[in-house]
Structure 1
C-alpha cells in the first residue's frame, strides 16, 4: 500500500484517499459556486460584520431621531402661507444633513467622557474611529450648506447660522450654562430655514419676466411670520435639553418638573392660538379636529415621561423622558402647521410618528 493511502487509512481522511464521503445516494458533490477560480473555497461574505458596522453608524447618528427633523421645514412652510415645494424639500435635506453632522460631532467631542460614562457608545467601544466621525461631521455640514444654497441665498444665510450654532454647541457650549439655549437656537433656526427656503423659491418662481415687481401670492406671508412657531419649538427644545444634562447620573427632580411646566404652557398656547389678523383661518372642519388632536398628542408624548422622571429621577426614567421629548417634536410641529392654517401638512408630519417609534426601539434617540 502506498504511503499516502496507508496514512489515509489510519486517519480516515477522504481527501487523502481522493474520494468524497459517501451517503446512500452516492458521493457528495461540492457546489461549483463555492469554489474560487484557483480551485480553493471562496470566503463567504462577512454579513454579520457589515451589519454590525451599519448598526454602529446608526447609533452614532441616532437615526431614530431623524424623523423629528422634516417637520421643522413643513411647519416653517405652513407659517408662510405657502404650500411645501422645491425649497421646502431642499430645506428638509439641509436640515437632515446638519442634524446628522451635529450627532457625529457630538460623539467625537464627547469620546473621552463617554469612555467613562457610556463605554458602549460607538466611538469608545471601538466600533467607529474618531477620525471617521469627525470627517462625517464635516462632510455632512458641507452637504447641508450646499442644499440650502440651491434653495436661495437667504436660506444659505440661515443654514450657515444653524451650522455655526451646531458646531459651537458640540465643541464649546454643551457643558456650559449656554448649552440649552444654543440647542434651542438651533431648532429655532431650523424652522426658520424651512420658511426662508420655501418663501425664496416661491418668490423666484412667481417673479414676472417683465419690469413689474413680483407680487406676493395670495395669503402668503414673509418668513418673519414663522418666528412665533420657531420660538415655540425652541422653547420645547430648551426644556428637553435641560433634562438631558442629567440623563447619565439622574437624581434631579427640578429639571423634569420645570420641563413639564414648560411643555404644558407650550401645548396650551398652541391650542389656544389663532391666526393673526388677515391670515387665512384653518380649514373649518379639519382644523377644528386635528389641532386639538395634535396638541393632545404632544402633551401626552412629552408630559407623561417627564412626570415619571420627576417622581423618580433615575437615569433610565430620565433618559426615557428625554426620548419622549424628542419624539414629541413631531406632534408639536403638526400642531404648529395646523394653527397656521395647514392641518393637512400637519397630518403628513404626524405620519412620521410610527416610523420614529418603531426605529427608537432598535436605536436609542439619545
Structure 2
C-alpha cells in the first residue's frame, strides 16, 4: 500500500501531523497488509483530516484509537516518557540500581489488572542494596510513575551512568512506604546473573537471563568461559519471567549452545520475505548437559531461545508452557521521539520445527511448577541432566 502524498500534510495542524505520521509509520511497517480488513485510507481521512485536536494529549488518544482498529495487542503507542523507558530497556549502555523486578504471580501480561511488582533480587553491594532496599519490597512507583509490568519497570530503573532515580517502595502489603533516591551505576542493569551451584554432586553453571539485550551473546560467552575454567559438569539457563527483549540477542545466545548448521529461527517480514537464522559454527557450549527453565511469562526472544534448544534436541526444557508470542515488533519514534513512538508488529517467526507458537506457547519436556522466587537449581529435576 502506498502512503498519501506528504505535501498533502502541509496544511495540517501540529497535532494532526503527529497522527498523520503515526498513520504513515503503521502503513509502512505493519505486518498484516490487510490492516485487519479495515479501509486504512478511510481511517486516515477520519483521524487525520476530519478531526481537529486541541492538544497533544488529544492527538495521542486518537493514535491509540487508530491502532485499536488493527486488533493487535502488540502494536501500540508510547508517550515520550514511556518511549524513553523503552529505549533504556533495550540499551546495553544504560546503568541501573542492581535490583531485579518480578510480578507477584505469573499472570498474563495482558491481564486487565496489572500484577503487583516486587523487588526479587537486591544484592547488598548494589546501589539499591546500599540504599536499604531489599528483596520482597513492593515497588510502588519510579520517579512518581507506576509501571504496568516488569519490562516497563526495568526500563524505568535504567538510565545514564550517574543519573538518579526516585524509587518508592512498601515493606509488605501493610507496611510503611518510603522513597529512596538512588544513583545509577554502570554494570548494574541486571540482565544476566551467574553462579556455580551443586546438584546431586554435579557442579553446575547457572545463568539467569532477565532479558535478552543486544549484547547478550557476548555476555553469555564470557560467562561460559568462566564456567569452563570452573570445570562445571552441566549448565542451567533460567529464562523464567523473561519476556524477551532483542531478537538478535536471543538468536546470538542460542548459537552459543548449538552445533554448526542448526536452525535457530525463521522470520517472515511484512513484505513476505523469509529469513532463516542458523548457527554458523559450533558454539562453545555444545557438549555440556543443558537444562532451560521456562514458565508462563517466558515470551518473545526468550521463546526463540527455548525453541532453538528444544527443537534441535540440544537440551531439556523444564517448567511450564511458555507465553506464546510469535511476532516481532519494531520501535519507531514519532517526530524523532519528541512525540513518543510506535511499537509496530512487523514480522512473525517460526521455530526450527516450522511451528508458529503465537497464542500457543512451547510445551516443556518436563512439566513442573517452580515459582520465580525459587532458586533455579532447586527447579532442576534429579535426572534432567541425564536426559539432555
**TM-score, length-normalised on structure 1?**
0.26
Which structure carries more relative contact order (alpha carbon 8 Å, separation 6+)?
Answer: 1
Structure (1 or 2) with the greater strand fraction: 2
Question: Which structure has the bigger radius of gyration?
Answer: 1
